[in-house]
Structure 1
Amino acid sequence: MEPKPPKPSKGDTAHWSPPSSAPGRTAARRSGAAGSGGRLGGVLTAVSRDPLSTPHRTRNDAIITAVIAVAAVAAAFLAGEERRPDALGWTLLAGAILPLVWRRSHPYAVLAVGVLCVAPYHALDNAHGAPMAGSMLAVYTFASLVRPLHAVLVGGAVVGLTLTTMFTVGAHEGLESLRTSGWIIVFLVVGMDVRIYRQYVASMVARAEHAERTREEEAARRVAEERIRIARDLHDLLAHSITLIGVQTSVASHVLTVDPDRLDRAAIAKALDDIADTCRAARGELRTTLTVLRTDATGTHGRADAGTPSGPLPELASLPELTAASGARLTLRPGADRLPPAAEVAAYRIVQESLTNAVRHGGTGVGIDVSVERRGDALHVAVLDDGAGEPLPAATPGQAPGFGIVGMRERARSVGGTLLARPRPDGGFEVLAVLPLRQPEPAA
């Protein structure tokens, strides 16, 4: 019969699990592993930290030096009367241990002072175990801070000097020093290994920071591109409709001001109806664009649900209606094959912006020819105006330069095409674009 589980104490947050083979031993192993993992992580963190940027470095090194000094004094007294240091011995021992406070900031100087003090200390046959801990700490710190080649050369010199000194004291002391000199090599190797580990951790941190900066720069670049795309879409969407509304409003104003006694009600009504139709079309297209943007913002990247309209993209089939609103003559030969949607959108927007500019700068009655033809693997778009219309009243001259041509060039570049916008020799303006229908294969 299995024993009942003990009731947890008031502050105990551990949960009792049903006994399997040995629940007590399993829980102990788990807690011990977690504790050892936490201690190991703390040790690795302390070891991998830059020794010169450790917080409270001087205070900690002073405490460690004081502990080593106490241990050295105790070892000197425990060695017996015949090996207990005299005044010179105590001075040499203090000179070898006290500089350890500055061992990280001046590793070469501290090791040199230590060797110069420890060598005569041992030569005077003082308690040989007293300076051992300080010497090993100085050797380890030196090896963990300097280049490995320097550590090997200096370590070999220290071992050679130690053996030479101890053999001058006596054969027994020399052999004993030869046996214990392995600890110097051990601390040298450990110090060099710690230095390599710190360099590895620093390189991994630098690589992670570089990757994070790259991700931030890529995110900023995408945000900038998205802002430009939204600005271009809104410009293409609203500029054409607002320009047409301005033209129609100018027509109505002209009819009202030229001959108020002979009011052409039909012309005014038609102009107002055209304004209302243009506003409705612009509102619908703006709603569609905002729906697509909101769908992208929710993380679906344009893949809306069945009940969420993703919005129809402009296509060449809509060009007759677009050109008719501006009174332009259209030549449309898209070919029999289905065109890429990106090329159709780019062609539609280029024609739309070109019509907007022609009406805005050429005025009412300007003659516009639009040609969209497929020639081989490219779509050729041409919009030409004669600039012979009546100038729009009010503030058309002196307007701030817009972003229409810049947006058209960006549209063409977005599908790998080119665009040329320039004045015509015989008057007017022309926009010529070549839009490839096959995107180039990405390089491996």
Structure 2
Amino acid sequence: MGKSQPLPEDGPVPQPPTRPRLGERVLNAVSRDPLAVPHRTRNDALIAASVGALSVALALLVNDGRRPDALGWALLAGSVVPLVWRRSHPSHVLVAVLACVGPYHALDNTHAAPVPASLLALYTVAATARPLYTCFVGCLVMGVTLTITFNVGAHEGLESLRTSGWILAVLVFGVDVRTYRRYIASVVGRAERAERTREEEAARRVAEERLRIARDLHDLLAHSITLIGVQTSVASHVLTVDPERLDRAAIAKALDDIAETCRTARGELRTTLEVLRADGPDCDGPLPDLAALPGLVRTAGAELTLSTGDAPMPPAVEAAAYRIVQESLTNAVRHAGAGVRITVRVVLEAGALRVAVTDDGNASVQRPGTGFGIIGMRERARSVGGTLAAGPRGDRPGFEVAATLPMEPSEATV
């Protein structure tokens, strides 16, 4: 039998997760909120059992007092059992521990035995309470301890005074741990707030992009569909008014206009889809400019006054002006009535492009309603730092749209 061939690998072999080192695990344990640690009651019960075993060993092996009797063992056990709830009720646990440790020392039992439980209770208070409260508790504990031990004897009092440095060390260590935890929490909080800010910014950009797409599609399709509808109505009118005297030239012109409008709409829609499918976020694609304005106005049967000179114009301003004129023509053709006269004026004055579209139709039927045409035009003007006003022409019949677009567009604040 030949040698078996190794199976081909589909990709890199996943490596098992590496176990954190001891120092990292200790830092993670220290930096955690003591009330948010999972299984804290179970862990504290195990710690209390370990402290209890250490206290029993000290009571049996250390000769700095008499060996505890039944009452001494009960007091020693009473100083250990409350440690099970030290994280959830640190102050109450400290009071319970001191209530048992005080009589235990007063009876001159082995003084080293309850020290681990006392220091652990003190550390828990220092690590969870405010520093001022910790200082008050430390002074109170040392005062009570020295008072009791000096009442027992001068030697015991001096020994307690010598070992009181351990109490100070535990309190300082607990305050330091609390400060470190608060620092870690503030760093994590800032990181979470920064992440939320990035998510909100991304959501805002998505909403703005959706609004831009909706505005482009509205401007494109509404204008083209409206013109197609008007031209279709003209052809239908010619066919039905006097069939015996059929005006073939008028019908042919209407159909040609419909075909031209469809081709223009198809081209602009293709351009919009190409922009949406572009890979890069900055690929804006070709924007409509003022060079296409005469054809747009001619298709709508309007009169155009275009005076921009030879000054270069920002593409965004040209695109905004084109879309505003396009939407204004759409509204005029749709609402102003038959035989309406539409005038378009685009003039460069005082460093700004001024756009005005007026008609002499019935203004009462083209007031802003539930549509998005005028809203979209205002957004177009605002996107380049400009303004737009739309409404009836006052004492004259008709409707007017007037926009001022600065030549140096800026992002307007909303």
8 Å contact kept, 1:365–1:388: no
Q: CA 1:198/1:294 → structure 2, altered by over 3 Å: closer, same or farther?
A: same
1:110 Cα shift? 1.4
Deviation, structure 1 residue 77: 1.8
- The equivalent residue for 1:254 is 237
For the residues of structure 2 that align with 1:200 and 1:150, how far apart are their CA atoms?
20
Q: 1:79 aligns with which of 57, 62, 65?
A: 62
Which of residues 200, 222, 231 in structure 2 aligns to 1:217? Answer: 200
**How far apart in 1 are the matches of 2:347 and 2:412?**
27
Alignment check: 8 A CA contact 2:65 2:111 kept: no
> Which consecutive residues of structure 2, in runs of 5 or more, have no partner in the other structure?
1-12
Q: Give the alignment partner of residue 161 of structure 2, picking from 147, 166, 178.
A: 178
Residue 385 of structure 2: aligned partner: 416
Matching of residue 438 in structure 1 with residue 405 in structure 2:
no
TM-score, normalised by the number of residues in structure 1? 0.84
Q: Distance in 2 between matches of 1:68 and 1:117?
A: 15
Corresponding residue for 2:348?
374
TM-score, length of structure 2 as denominator length: 0.89
Supply the distance in 2 between the matched residues of 1:353 and 1:226 (Cα, whole angstroms). 20
Name the CA distance, whole Å, in 1 between partners of 2:321 and 2:282: 23
What residue is the counterpart of 1:348 in the other structure? 322
Q: 1:405 to 1:388 in 2, by over 3 A?
A: closer
Deviation at 1:167, TM superposition (A): 2.3
Amino acid across the alignment from 1:352 = Q
The letter of the residue matching 2:353 is L
2-structure distance, mates of 1:358, 1:327:
11
Q: Post-superposition shift, 1:440?
A: 5.8
| 1:219-238 correspondence to structure 2 within 5 Å | 219-238=202-221
Take 1:326 and 1:106, find their aligned partners in 2: how far apart are those partners?
Answer: 80
1:301 aligns with 2:282: yes
Q: Find the counterpart in structure 1 of residue 125 from structure 2.
A: 142
List structure 1 segments (4+ residues) > 6 angstroms apart after TM superposition.
none
- Structure 2 distance, partners of 1:65, 1:106, is 15
Give the match for residue 107 of structure 1.
Answer: 90
Q: How does 1:45-444 map to 2 (within 5 A)?
A: 45-79=28-62, 83-295=66-278, 298-302=279-283, 310=285, 312-387=286-361, 401-424=370-393, 425-439=395-409
Q: How far apart are 1:441 and its partner, in Å?
A: 9.9
Taking only aligned residues, the RMSD between alpha carbons, in angstroms, comes to 2.4
Identity of aligned residues (%): 66
The alpha-carbon distance between structure 1 residues 148 and 286, as it changes in their structure 2 partners (threshold 3 A), is same
- Which amino acid in structure 2 is aligned with residue 359 of structure 1? V
Instruction: Name stretches of at least 5 consecutive residues in structure 1 with no aligned partner.
Output: 1-12, 14-33, 304-309, 390-395
For 1:187 and 1:125, how far apart are their aligned partners in 2?
24
CA contact (8 A) 2:220 2:265 kept: yes
Within 1, Cα distance between the matches of 2:97 and 2:242? 110
Work out the CA distance in 2 between the residues paired with 1:165 and 1:383: 97
Q: How many residues align?
A: 394
Q: Is the 8 A contact 1:248 1:272 kept in 2?
A: yes
Q: 2: CA distance between counterparts of 1:327 and 1:430?
A: 17
Change (3 A) 1:71 1:436: same
Q: Shift of residue 80 of structure 1?
A: 5.6
**Contact 1:83–1:125 (CA under 8 A) maintained in structure 2:** yes
Partner SS, residue 390 of structure 2 = strand
